[in-house]
Structure 1
Amino acid sequence: MTATWPDIPYEPWHETCAALHLYSQVVGKYRLARTPWVNHSWHATLYVNARGLTTSLVPDGARGVELVLDLLNHAVIGSCTDGRTARFDLGPMSVAAFHRRFLDLLRELGATTEFHGVPNEVPNPIPFAEDTVDRPYDAEAVTRFFRACVCIDRVLTRFRTSFLGKVSPVHLFWGSFDLAVTRFSGREAPLHPGGVPGLPDDVTREAYSHEVSSAGFWPGGGGLDFPAFYSYAYPAPPGFADAAVAPDAAYFDARLGEFVLAYESVRRTSDPDASLMAFLESTYRAAADLGGWDRGRLDCTTGNPRRPRPIRATPV
């Protein structure tokens, strides 16, 4: 029902959103510094959990550390496999203050405090320790954002199941602050030209080393002043921008180079889950069909609880 998808207009909380984005980068960079590289930077991401966003378990020496941005009780919570825990409250503060408290939390856990101290993928990045401008913190808006992420994570997770090929987890990239899932054709892609602001070219090129159809959600910012879903292909096959996709409110944004669907257009439908799924499926089909993906080998029925995949009698 529509009521389960919260209203999350971007403008009223855009300053808090920008702060939360940078806080997620501080937390994410700890994971990035400690975790072995996984294809397409999957080792660096955060995940939606029951309370907010988590690093999952991060190796730190002989122990493991998990860090959670609790977006219900508004705190950063750290847990270590040796039993230690630490926390500090989220609220109005500067990025520098958040960074300082985060380092104190890591020390309390006995964790490593060294990680890259400059934001990525934001205009005019300021080192965390030097960003002393006070930031607001709208706790109610943050919780609504979290509840929206729970709804979106649910649909992206279900969409993920109808693909037998290589597919990413559903995860939040803290650089661009988007919740995303990506499917791969299995073929190598042309070398990416790079040039993504605030991101080293070798990272971008490794991320796009193979053909993808990727979809996800932004809360706003990055050229959009409203929360939205997106879907793109790399490389974009000929005719992709002109493909017919669903629902009717979706459109191709030539400036961004991807399909866009406003969150509000989904939220206001009688079945938001089905509306978002239509967008995910139709944009994937456009990318895969126009790109010549072997869908007979890659696609499958959507997964259901307690139902194993049927085994094909003969290879496709």
Structure 2
Amino acid sequence: MSERPDAWPALVHEDLAPMVDYVNRVVQVAGKYTLDEPFEVGWGHIVLDVTPRGLSTPTFRQRGVAFRVHYRLLDGDVVIETDGESRRLSLAEGSVAAFYSAFCAAVSELGIRRPRTSLICEIPDAPPSFEDDQVVRTWDGDAARLMWEALSLAADGLEAWQAPFLGHRPRVGVMWGGFDLSATRFRARPATPTPGRPPFMQNAQLHSYLSVGFCFDNTKISDVDAPPIGMYAYIWPQPDGLEGRSWGVKGAAWYPEAGLVLLPWDTLRELPDPHRAIVDFGDAVYEAAVETAGWPTDVFVPRVDGWYVSRTPTAVLQTQCRQG
């Protein structure tokens, strides 16, 4: 990934919002298959991978068939790929209801059962189900490419941030419900979920964790007046003492009403090294967890380049690990 700021595109919320809303709905169709997978702490098993062309589910295995679903943002289509055949569905124009119907027909032809539920989740003001979403939408290829570029750039930084952590950390990916790119670190300490929230949200709060991510609309996860597009972070359970801290990057700020640290995309892309800034932002959030909530400091290996590791004797690496 380039470190030049002009390689990080400008993102205008109003221009991207229709496509973000459309993609958020259609990725939930195949995303539902993850609900039948073995549960990973914090719902880490449900994330969609950011691929060279879009977003992809993990590989699923049903009786007699293995498959995955690839939402190709750069191509405006969806490819359902099995160990035998594949099907391609266009996203050029149509309703979510029409896509869902075509998807169910295609998977049936491939010997795959349809998703067990058609409920639309975590999208304010959305119809109850895919079948009810009859609004005709047109694919915007330029907006789709900007979405992919932003997700790929942010994922690159978040993966670098996660690399040295030894604790439980689901892979970096897009949560298909809220449609945010997430990198989460867990601490083996039970936590008490927020009462009154949906069961899946309470499941995610059964253990202490901190999350750093990217979102196209932070207003969905916060009710404060803040830049909608950019990086976010939070610590669960939220400790005291987060006010007045430095968050590693100029422009990152704590929003106490939302319980979030936010770093606007416009600020991030203008920094000398946005990739490094994401790593520094995440490190600052973890440091806050250490200092305010007693998170461990002995759960890291040295952060080094892969080629450096390949030419460094094992004994040297072992010494570095012992030294922290």
Normalising by the residue count of structure 1, what TM-score does the alignment of the two structures yield? 0.91
Match of 1:205 among 202, 213, 228: 202
Question: C-alpha separation between the residues in 1 aligned to 2:278 and 2:257?
Answer: 22
**Count of matched residue positions in the alignment of Structure 1 and Structure 2:** 308
Structure 1 residue 110: Cα displacement: 1.6
| Aligned residue number for residue 149 of structure 2 | 147
Residues 264-301 of structure 1: per-residue CA shift (max 9 Å, x gap) = 11112221112222211112211222111121x21332
Q: 1:21 aligns with which of 20, 24, 43?
A: 24
The Cα shift of 1:233 comes to 0.2
**Comparing 55-64 with 36-45, which one deviates more in the overlay?**
36-45
Residue 100 of structure 1 corresponds to: 101
Distance 2:49 2:322 in 1: 37
Question: CA separation in 2, counterparts of 1:147 and 1:18?
Answer: 17
What is the DSSP-based 3-state SS (H/G/I as helix, E as strand, rest coil) of the residue aligned with 1:76?
A: strand
Q: Do the aligned partners of 1:241 and 1:258 also contact (CA within 8 Å) in 2? A: no
Tell me how far apart the structure 2 counterparts of residues 16 and 187 of structure 1 sit (CA, whole Å): 39
Instruction: Work out whether residues 214 and 231 of structure 2, in 8 Å CA contact, stay in contact via their aligned partners in 1.
Output: yes
Q: Deviations over 1:195-248 (max 9, x none)?
A: 44xxx32x2222121111111000125156631110100011110233221212
2:61 aligned partner: 59
Alignment of 1:249-260 (within 5 A): 249-260=251-262
Q: Distance in 1 between matches of 2:135 and 2:101?
A: 14
Deviates more, 1:230-239 or 1:39-48: 39-48
SS of the aligned residue for 2:57 comes to strand
Secondary structure of the 1:141 match is helix
The DSSP-based 3-state class of the residue aligned with 2:243 is helix
Q: Measure the CA separation in 2 of the matches of 1:186 and 1:315.
A: 23
Equivalence for 1:109? 110
C-alpha contact (below 8 Å) 1:156/1:181 kept by paired residues: yes
Partners of 1:97 and 1:104 in 2: CA distance: 11
Corresponding residue number in structure 2 for 1:193 = 194
Describe the SS at the equivalent of 1:192: coil
Query: Aligned partner of 1:49: which letter?
Result: T
Q: Which residue of 2 aligns with 1:170?
A: 172
Is the 1:40–1:206 Cα contact (8 Å) retained in structure 2?
Answer: yes
Is residue 81 of structure 2 the alignment partner of residue 79 of structure 1?
Answer: yes
| Alpha-carbon distance in 2 for matches of 1:45, 1:24 | 11
Secondary structure in 2 aligned to 1:242?
Answer: coil
Secondary structure of residue in 2 paired with 1:214 = strand
Deviations 1:57-105 (A, max 9, x none): 1112132111000011111001101x21101111232111121121122
1:263 aligned residue (241, 265, 285): 265
Shifted more, 64-73 versus 268-277: the winner is 268-277
Q: How does 1:232-243 map to 2 (within 5 A)?
A: 232-243=234-245
Give distance in 2, aligned partners of 1:114 and 1:164: 34
* Deviation at residue 114 of structure 1 after TM alignment: 3.5
Q: Percent identity, please.
A: 26
Q: Compute the TM-score of the two structures, normalised by the length of structure 2.
A: 0.89
Q: Could you tell me which residue of structure 2 aligns to residue 135 of structure 1?
A: 137
Please give the secondary structure, in 1, of the residue aligned with 2:174: strand
- Once superposed, what is the RMSD of the aligned Cα atoms? 2.0
Give the SS at the match of 1:241.
coil
CA–CA separation in structure 2 for the residues paired with 1:37 and 1:278: 31
Distance 1:26 1:288 in 2: 39
- Structure 2: runs of 5 or more not aligned: none
1:43/1:181 CA distance change after superposition, 3 Å:
same
Cα drift, residue 178 of structure 1: 0.5
Aligned partner of residue 103 in structure 1, secondary structure: helix
Structure 2 CA distance for partners of 1:250 and 1:314, relative to 1, 3 Å: closer
* Aligned residue in 2 for 1:299: 300
For residues 274 and 322 of structure 2, the distance between their equivalents in structure 1, rounded to whole angstroms, comes to 38
Q: Aligned partners of 1:186, 1:31: CA distance in 2, in Å?
A: 24
The answer on 1:90 being equivalent to 2:91 is yes
Shift of 1:305: 1.1
